[in-house]
Each structure stands twice: as C-alpha cells, then as structure tokens.
Structure 1
C-alpha cells in the first residue's frame, strides 16, 4: 500500500448506524454450486427482511460481473480477485449498518475464509446452499451445465473446476429438499439466534 494513503475514520460509527437502523449488520454469504438456489434464496430473504423493516441488500454474482467485476474471467486467480472485491464491498455494507446477502459460487474455502477475516466476530455468516451436482444439472436454469458439457464454458465449477464445500458453515440449507419458504425461515432463525434481528416484541439487539 502506498505510504501516502492514510485511513480516515468516519464521523458516524457502525454502532450508531446499527442503533439508528434498529438491527445488527452482517454478511450472509450464500455459497454453493451454480443452480443450487443461492440467488433465489438471497432475494426471497431480502424481500422478507424488507417486509420486517430491516435494511438489507443483495450482491449477486452474475450482476456484479456486469459492472464492478466485468474485467475478470473464471481462472482461479480471477475467481480469487472476484471474491476479494466482493468481500471489501460487503464490509462497507456492514459498516453502514445493513445486512448484505451475497450470492456467489465462491468455490474455494481459502477465499471465503479471507472474507471472513475482513470482518469482526459474528459479522460473517456462511450459508451453504447444498444441492447435488446431478440436481443442479437437472435444473440448469441458465443452460450453463449443458454448455459446459459441450466444452463451450471452460473451468466451469463442478464440471472442470472444483467446488470446496464449507467445513463449518453457520448454516446448511438443503435446497434439494427444503422449499424456499422453509429455507428463508431457517435463515431468519439464525439471524435471531445471532441477535441480528428480532421479529417479536422487545428491543432489537445489534451485534
């Protein structure tokens, strides 16, 4: 880092922003194979949180690659940089007092762990959206697996490139067996247990 770049503290603290919003802030990191349901769950949760009056925002892998990360490919090096950038952006949302829901395949444990290390204790909740490769291929909502099998998409996760399952995620969502509603409810319960939100009576407790 350049020696003439100096961190400037903000006038409003993270705690003040959380207190103003009336809830905690954290990254809910959805990881899993393409087609497992990460974006579907993140957006369904975002809708539910909004209905509860909780400030949240979704960062979606495909959407981010249309803008911030459009210069990156899918090599291991580019995947690493993709996740690094998202981690830094997600950290800003946490500082602003919001819940940020990130839906990225993020296939490598090391990369996910590096994002966790950017954040404070309890500010990173890894949510593994578990779904078998066979089911993801059957769903294939964007036709990506078919293209990968034909050799049109190199280094496709699950086909030509590995996916490293989380070893100790905060939550495992079985999208092959659970409905979207059941999955969202399980995540809301996790947020309540971690005192990020409170749905019924009493004062909402932040981190």
Structure 2
C-alpha cells in the first residue's frame, strides 16, 4: 500500500506505475515531482498555510488542485502527517481507461500527449479547482467477490489511487519549470517513456 502520510519525497517514486483514477478515467503515472512545504522555496506552502496552499498542510489522502498560468489545473496528492505540508505533483502519465472521456476534454491529440505535462494531466482527469481538498482513497487489493478494498481518509472517494502491480525502473533528477530550489533532485520519471514531459533519459 502507498502511504500518503509519508513525506512527498518518499511517496513520489512509489507513484510511478501507479494509476490515478477520477471516476471512470484512469491514468498510469510516469512522471512526478515532490514539493516539501516550508523547507522548499519552490513550494506553494513555503510561506505557510495561505488560502491557496492551506490544503497542502493536510491531512494527507487529499488532492490539491491549483491553477497555473491562469488556465491549467494541476493535480497534486497531499502527503505527510497532518500539519506538515508536502505534496506530489502529477506531471505525466498514460491513459489506461476512459479515453473517450479524456478526448472529449483534450481533443484529437496524439495518445502519448493526452496526459503529458501537469496541465494536460489535470485536463485529462477533468480536475476542477472546487475539488481541491477532496479525499483520495488508496486501493489496497480486491476481495473474493472482486470488489476493491480501499484505505485512507478517502475510502470510497471519487479520486482513487491504485498502486503499481510491480516495481518499475525510474530515474531521478531536478524538477523542471521552477526558478527556486532548482537543484533539489525531486523529480522522478520512467526512462524513455514517451508520456514523460521533461527529460526522458
């Protein structure tokens, strides 16, 4: 099980190969970044629990959705114990379920580009700003009857996280698209995957 109450830098690599679900849409994650709150100048939570960043201070097992450049809705998973801000930004992934619904939002773009980049990820999922702070459940397995078992504060939630079936190979390096704390190696991605938005090597 993925424990979202751990710090984002511990959770982030475990999310690679996992599938994030919002309703019928499922996206297998291939690229993520961690943001560490008060100790990370690149984080929205660096200046404390402002109205926008308050969700990052917990509790974990919730989504944090924010608007980037006035148009892109970016999706994060809130991590760390309640009161300790950190979150993982979902930067890229491959649509594995609900492609017709995704294309109704993203249009006639190449399959690899449907959820490539944080803005496209948010659009593919249909995320809204009003959902910031909504719960996320983590799928922990299935019962004999085939029903999913879920854990976390968001058990039964619209947002669900399905752990990767196997450990995946990954790379780690600096985050992209930021101007502060640029050397922190808090970006993780699956190498050579075409859905990764930054460096793929």
User: TM (normalized to structure 2)?
Assistant: 0.25
Larger Rg: 1
Pick the structure with more helix per residue. Answer: 1
Higher relative contact order by CA 8 Å / sep ≥ 6: 1 or 2? 1
Structure with the higher strand share, 1 or 2: 2
